[in-house]
Amino acid sequence: MATVVQRPKLSLLERSYFPAILGGLWITIKHFTQMALGRTKVTMQYPEQKWDSAMPEWYRGAPTLVKDEHGRERCVACQLCEFICPPRAITIKPGELPGNSVWAKVEKFPDKFDIDMIRCIYCGLCEEVCPEQAIFLRKDYSITGLTRAEMVHDKAKLYELGGVMDGLVHKWNEKK
Amino acid sequence: MPSLDFFLQPEIFLVWTSVLKTSVVLGIVLTMVAYSVWAERKVSAFIQDRVGPNRVGWAGLIQPIADGLKLLLKENFVPAGVNKFYFSIAPSLAMVPAILVLGVLPFGSTLFSVPMVIADLNVGVLWVFAVSSLGVYGIVLAGWASNSKYPFLGGIRSSSQMISYELALGLSVVPVFMITSTLNLGQIVQYQIDHGWMVFPAWFAKGPGPLEFSTESGAIFGMSLEKTLLWIPMMISFVVFMIAMFAETNRVPFDLPEAEQELVGGYHTEYSSMRFALFFLGEYAAMIAGAGVIVTLFLGGWSLPFVPDGSHGWFWGLVNIGTFFAKIAAIIFFFLWVRWTLPRFRFDQLMKLGWYVFFEVALVNIFITAGILAYLKS
């Protein structure tokens, strides 16, 4: 059944457009003056202002490698993160620790550790799977580069971003 | 000094002062064009609760220069299948009429007793209408020469919009000439100095009336029966002329030739680089020229009540020039304000408004004015 919508009957004044036009002009000039007086809340001016201070603890930014307070690189090159990484962004080349090293019992260390930040999807699975608490997603979110090669974070870059983290479990200390 | 005498001969003096005035006015107007584009973006942003351009220079003030440079450096692309000759001259045809109109507008009183108008024509207003109507040729030619459907639709819309509004535009100012009995824009301004602005005739230097009182500077403030009666047709004229000017300069709500959402930019869809910039420039120059005509005819031109003219010293001459361009800026702000408030009229609504409403209103207004003038004379 078709519904017939009755058009509202407009008075002569309304049909002259003038009340609606003046009403509209009044609304827009209000917005204009509020903005000109700086009373309107506007979007954050990004490169000058950043939301870093308001970032939550659980924020998942760029994955990084960390060292502990003893200066030991915590990664033991077990390659679990490499296997679990959904977009296969991580490439690890394990190396063997020399026998005279303090941490010789650890046996392995990453000779090369590359994370391709073009592929990384910031899922955090590498952090979850790591048995050594070596890889953490930190708060860096603005990862940019001019070339593809620049976007691959190597070991040095990962440690630079990760830095030192204390309060971790030290299961290797008793096996020095 | 013989060389100075050479420059003070009447003919030579006229030539070099005219050249100087022309270049200064052109400079001011082109700067205003650039900054009205900036203002357009800033005002639209403010009305929509945004920030607007704020990267290039403080508050984006160097933005127009960056825009111009970008357009200069772009490739001047000519699509295949266009009519090359008309395609090339159309942008100039859109730009030149707008600039020509500025030649007859009195933009100040006098500076060092040189009248601040480039060409003091006795047919000033006729020149304005004759030349500004030519601007539509640029749009129509661009639309036709582009060999593309959207520009073509834009061009057709422009020509039919023109015939619906030109009549109302011309007829709506006839009452002004009936009251001032002159077509010379300078004399129309002088009339408004003597008798009060057309839109608000509350002060005048001549003619006693019942509701007047004098001020210290000798000018008189007040209303008389004559003023009040003539105010009615003047307001009608002003509103009709203003609305017709919106249509004439292709501004929202009558920007059907462009209609970004329907016609992908309308007549200048196929243009790029400096040719596009010329259209842009022409459009805004036409806006400034139109605002100048409105100011001259209805808002007292360069005059401000109780402010002396240039014969009292060069300072006041400069103040008068500043007043004129400040009034233009105010009108342009109104243009922008309306643009970011109103939606576009549908095409049939626009034709209907032009032919059924404004044409009649303007025509009847002439008779009303004639009646009032006859009553006042008797």
Q: What number of residues does chain A have? A: 176
Task: Please say if the pLDDT value at position B177 is more than 90.
Answer: no
DSSP state of B23: H
Contact B341/A35, CB-based, under 8 Å?
A: no
Pair B237, B243: CB distance under 8 Å: no
Question: Which residues, in sequence order, are CB contacts of B118 under 8 Å at separation 6+?
Answer: B18, B21, B22, B25, B102, B103, B104
Nearest-Å Rg of the Cα atoms of chain A is: 29
Q: Specify burial of residue B189 (Cβ count, 10 A radius: 0-12, 13-18, 19+).
A: buried
Other Cβ atoms less than 10 A from the Cβ of A139: the count is 14
Task: Please say if the pLDDT value at position B148 is more than 90.
Answer: no
* B239 touching chain A per CB within 8 A: no
Instruction: Give the pLDDT confidence score for residue A120 in this predicted structure.
Output: 92
Q: Among the listed ranges B17-26, B102-111, B213-222, which one has the minimum average pLDDT value?
A: B213-222
| Over residues B157-181, mean pLDDT | 84
Q: Specify burial of residue A43 (Cβ count, 10 A radius: 0-12, 13-18, 19+).
A: exposed
**Structure tokens, A129:** 């799977």
Instruction: Give the pLDDT confidence score for residue A119 in this predicted structure.
Output: 92
Contact A31/B43, CB-based, under 8 Å?
A: no
| Over residues B111-140, mean pLDDT | 80
ipTM value: 0.76
- The strand ranges marked E within B176-313 are 203-204, 211-214, 220-223
Contact A28/B341, CB-based, under 8 Å?
A: yes
* A29 touching chain B per CB within 8 A: yes
Place of tokens 């000109």: A36
Instruction: Give the pLDDT confidence score for residue B223 in this predicted structure.
Output: 63
In a domain, B289, yes or no: yes
Contacting A residues, span 66-125, partner chain B, CB-CB under 8 Å: none
Instruction: Give the pLDDT confidence score for residue A129 in this predicted structure.
Output: 93
Instruction: Give the pLDDT confidence score for residue B211 in this predicted structure.
Output: 40
Question: Which residues, in sequence order, are CB contacts of B62 under 8 Å at separation 6+?
Answer: B56
Instruction: Give the pLDDT confidence score for residue B2 in this predicted structure.
Output: 61
> pLDDT tens digits for B321-362?
888 888 999 999 999 898 888 888 888 888 888 888 888 888
CA distance A142 to chain B (A): 20
* B235 touching chain A per CB within 8 A: no
Mean pLDDT of chain B: 81
CA distances from B90 to B67, B86, B158 (A): 22, 6, 14
In a domain, B304, yes or no: yes
Total domains, chain B: 1
Torsion of CA A132, A138, A140, A144, to 10 degrees: 30
Three-state helix/strand/coil letters over B145-166? HCCCHHHHHHHHHHHHHHHHHH
Q: Among the listed ranges A87-91, A145-149, B193-197, which one has the minimum average pLDDT value?
A: B193-197
CA distance A175 to chain B (A): 59
In a domain, B29, yes or no: no
Q: Among the listed ranges A161-170, B31-40, B106-115, B168-177, which one has the minimum average pLDDT value?
A: B106-115
**Structure tokens, B188:** 């129309």
Domain of residue B147 covers 78-377
H or E element: which one contains A146?
A: none
> pLDDT tens digits for B324-335?
888 999 999 999
> pLDDT tens digits for A146-174?
999 999 999 888 888 888 888 788 887 77
Contact A24/B49, CB-based, under 8 Å?
A: no
Contacting B residues, span 55-94, partner chain A, CB-CB under 8 Å: none
Other Cβ atoms less than 10 A from the Cβ of A35: the count is 21
DSSP state of B309: -
Residue-wise burial string across B310-331, b where 16 or more C-beta atoms lie within 10 A, e elsewhere: beeeeebbebbbebbbebbbeb
Q: Among the listed ranges A89-93, B111-115, B245-249, which one has the minimum average pLDDT value?
A: B111-115
Instruction: Give the pLDDT confidence score for residue A86 in this predicted structure.
Output: 93
DSSP state of A2: P
What is the Cα–Cα distance from B329 to B207, expressed in whole angstroms? 32
Going by pLDDT thresholds of 50, 70 and 90, the confidence category of residue A80 is: very high
> pLDDT tens digits for A106-155?
888 899 999 999 999 999 999 999 988 889 998 888 888 899 999 999 98
Instruction: Give the pLDDT confidence score for residue A172 in this predicted structure.
Output: 79
Going by pLDDT thresholds of 50, 70 and 90, the confidence category of residue B209 is: very low
In a domain, B114, yes or no: yes
In a domain, B27, yes or no: no
Instruction: Give the pLDDT confidence score for residue A93 in this predicted structure.
Output: 92
What is the Cα–Cα distance from B237 to B243, expressed in whole angstroms? 10
SS percent in chain B: helix, strand, coil, step 5: 70, 5, 25
H or E element: which one contains A40?
A: none
Place of tokens 């299948």: B81
CA distance B233 to chain A (A): 18
Pairing of strands A63-65, A90-96: unpaired
Going by pLDDT thresholds of 50, 70 and 90, the confidence category of residue B58 is: confident
> pLDDT tens digits for B233-247?
888 888 888 888 888
DSSP state of B358: I
Contact A27/B43, CB-based, under 8 Å?
A: no
Task: Provide, rounded to the nearest whole percent, the portion of chain B with pLDDT above 90.
Answer: 1
The CA-CA-CA angle for residues B128, B129, B132, to 5°, reads 80
Instruction: Give the pLDDT confidence score for residue B116 in this predicted structure.
Output: 77
Instruction: Give the pLDDT confidence score for residue B205 in this predicted structure.
Output: 55
Q: Which domains does chain A have, with CATH numbers?
A: 52-175 (3.30.70.3270)
**Cis-peptide, bond into residue B253, ω within 30° of zero:** yes
Task: Please say if the pLDDT value at position B47 is more than 80.
Answer: yes
CA distance B161 to chain A (A): 19
Residue-wise burial string across B134-169, b where 16 or more C-beta atoms lie within 10 A, e elsewhere: ebbbbbbbbbbbbebebbbbbbbbbbebbebbbbbb
In a domain, B20, yes or no: no
Q: Among the listed ranges A75-79, B111-115, B168-172, B205-209, which one has the minimum average pLDDT value?
A: B205-209
> pLDDT tens digits for A42-52?
888 888 888 88
Query: Chain A partners of B55 at a C-beta cutoff of 8 Å?
Result: none
Going by pLDDT thresholds of 50, 70 and 90, the confidence category of residue B207 is: very low
| Over residues B24-48, mean pLDDT | 88
In a domain, B1, yes or no: no
The CA-CA-CA angle for residues A133, A136, A140, to 5°, reads 165
In a domain, B21, yes or no: no
Contact B49/A40, CB-based, under 8 Å?
A: yes
Query: Chain A partners of B340 at a C-beta cutoff of 8 Å?
Result: 28
> pLDDT tens digits for A8-33?
888 888 887 888 889 999 999 999 99
What is the Cα–Cα distance from A149 to B207, expressed in whole angstroms? 85
* A22 touching chain B per CB within 8 A: no
Contact A42/B49, CB-based, under 8 Å?
A: yes
Looking at per-residue pLDDT, the higher value among B237 and A71 belongs to: B237
Instruction: Give the pLDDT confidence score for residue B179 in this predicted structure.
Output: 83
Query: Chain B partners of A42 at a C-beta cutoff of 8 Å?
Result: 49-51
